[in-house]
Amino acid sequence: MPELPEVETVRCGLLPHLEGARIARVEVRRPDLRWPLPPDLVQVLTGAHITALRRRSKYLLADLQDRGSLLIHLGMSGRMLVQGAGMGEFHRDPAVLPRHDHFVIHTEAGATVTLNDARRFGMVDLVREGVEHPLLAHLGPEPLGEDFTPATLTAAFAGRRAPVKQALLDQRIVAGLGNIYVSEALHRAGLDPRRPAGQIEAAQLAGLHSHIRDVLTEAIAAGGSSLRDHRQASGELGYFQHSFRVYGREGAPCPAPGCSGVIARVVQSGRSSFYCPACQQ
């Protein structure tokens, strides 16, 4: 599933084609994805002016003037494709089959933005004017935002017996983190993913806070991580997967300077955690 860097990369790719644009026409090619689509989706979007294109956690939000917002989640396999805005500027991977194009926006400027989702675990919904959407209501601070500080992390972890990996995946504590980047940040911070969150000292949490920001920033600059489905809006692959230190590297030497350990894998809450037993304590 795309994590914060992948969704932010997609947002940045869509930004010049959607923000400030007016929607001329909308195609809804099936009544549902993961959940049913709003019955008035076409009516609300047609003619709408997109005033801003934002990301909240792993969600894309297109703010519509006087009409609320369009909410999109890419699920496991969703991709946002751009066509028609500058011929030759965008390449469509022939492996991305048109039969999986489920939701299409046509702008007055001539851009076509398509949600292609082979497994249909994504979602499209409307955030009504003046109403907080239930999927966004309880999200924690953005890890790259001003509200996410070492102090807020320390307060959120206080007294928690849950493993630090599990705590960081809790979207109520910090929004947008997923399995890949939590594993990478914990390795840089030298913290065992199984360690109880409430037993980590404030100084170590300050280091973890810094590493979370660094990993996310580097991943966004690299266009995210393309393991199976993620593509940028231009169709290009992300390449942060070539910089993984631990994720997916079970049995490989630890890349930390001076460490002779070997990357191991454990399963936590049904998800694989990759770490170095020698340098992550």
Residues with catalytic roles: 2-3, 58, 271
Q: Which residues pair with 69 in a beta bridge?
A: 63, 127
Rounded-to-5 percentages of helix, strand, coil across the chain: 25, 25, 50
Q: Is 81 helix (H, G, I), strand (E, B) or coil?
A: strand
**For residues 154, 159, 161 and 165, what is the CA-based torsion angle, rounded to 10 degrees?**
-10
Rounded Cα gap, residues 192 and 205, in angstroms: 13
Q: Which residues pair with 113 in a beta bridge?
A: 82, 105
Give the dihedral sign, CA 175/64/103/222. Answer: negative
φ, ψ for residue 50 (rounded to 5)? -85, 110
DSSP 123: E
